[in-house]
Amino acid sequence: MSRDHQSWAARIVWTTGGPKSNTTNNTLYFKYTGGIAPTPTEMSGIADTAFKFFNGAAGGTGTITYFMGPQVKRGSNQALVDLYDLDLADPRHHFGSPVATYQKSPGAGFSSVPFPNECAVVLSYRASYGSDPEHDGVTRPRASDRGRTYIGPLSQAASTTAVLPNGTSVAVVEPNLMSAAMTAASTIVTAAPTSNFLWCVWSRKEAQLKPVAYKACDNSFDTLRRREVEPPGLEGWVPV
């Protein structure tokens, strides 16, 4: 098995307080369309585009990083974009080592009040379904056409209140954050081809990268357990 230099991942690594690794990350996948392999200029360009997904594509009020919490370290060169030349056919070594790493500078956030690190907003995206059915016996072929990215850690700015018909209130995703995420999805579809890449869904089952065609953002929060704060949590037993 060998890498064909056509399948790529851009992993944005945030320096973050709380998780055991002191980092959190988001990974976006791309298909190279330019030739035998991307040039250094093209690689730098797609790294810029991947980071701008979070830090440059404004929608509503501010960029996605505007809504990320004080857990994320801000300032010059405090984030990384690692580029990986993927081997889609080798499940043991899909990624290997990064072939390039770029330092990036996250913009300022709005609120100094953090949400729990594992709280996230989900941007969903998918390729065109084509002839894939939702159900085929016990399998779901369309699952291979869908992807998502978990936006976070978040601050209090990411939330607003919705009043339900029975008069109670619940926390929902701030509409301006949803707008920023949806705008970022459209921006990356437009910007990636300038570096000869296409933003894609990676189907590990089919060993394919499929161009993104549709997007959605729910107003419900989700949870990503691996971002939880490192113990201690339980401080010890005391008599009742």
Which residues have C-beta within 8 Å of that of residue 172, sequence separation ≥ 6? 159, 160, 161, 162, 219, 220, 221
Q: Which domain holds residue 117?
A: 7-223
| 237 part of a folded domain | no
Burial class (CB in 10 A: 0-12, 13-18, 19+), 23: middle
- Mean pLDDT, all residues of the chain: 90
Return the minimum-mean-pLDDT range out of 17-21, 103-107, 191-195: 17-21
Domain membership flag for residue 159: yes
- At residue 61 the predicted structure's pLDDT band, cuts being 50, 70 and 90, is low
Q: CB-based contacts of 103: which residues, under 8 Å, 6+ apart? A: 77, 79, 80
Number of domains forming the structure of the chain = 1
Beta bridge partners of 210: 201
The helix/strand/coil state of 101 is strand
Instruction: Report the pLDDT value the prediction gives residue 123, as an integer from 0 to 100.
Output: 97
Q: Residues 7-46: pLDDT tens digits?
A: 999 999 999 987 777 899 999 999 999 999 999 999 999 9
In a domain, 187, yes or no: yes
- Listed in order, strand segments (DSSP E) in the chain are 7-15, 23-32, 79-85, 100-104, 119-126, 146-151, 159-163, 169-173, 197-203, 208-211, 214-217, 222-223
What is the pLDDT, as a whole number, of residue 150?
96
Between CA 210 and CA 31 the distance in angstroms is 8
Mean pLDDT of 204-220: 92
Question: What predicted TM-score, i.e. pTM, was given to this entire model?
Answer: 0.89
234 domain-assigned: no
In a domain, 232, yes or no: no
Starting at the earlier edge strand, list the strands of the sheet with 208-211: 100-104, 79-85, 7-15, 23-32, 197-203, 208-211
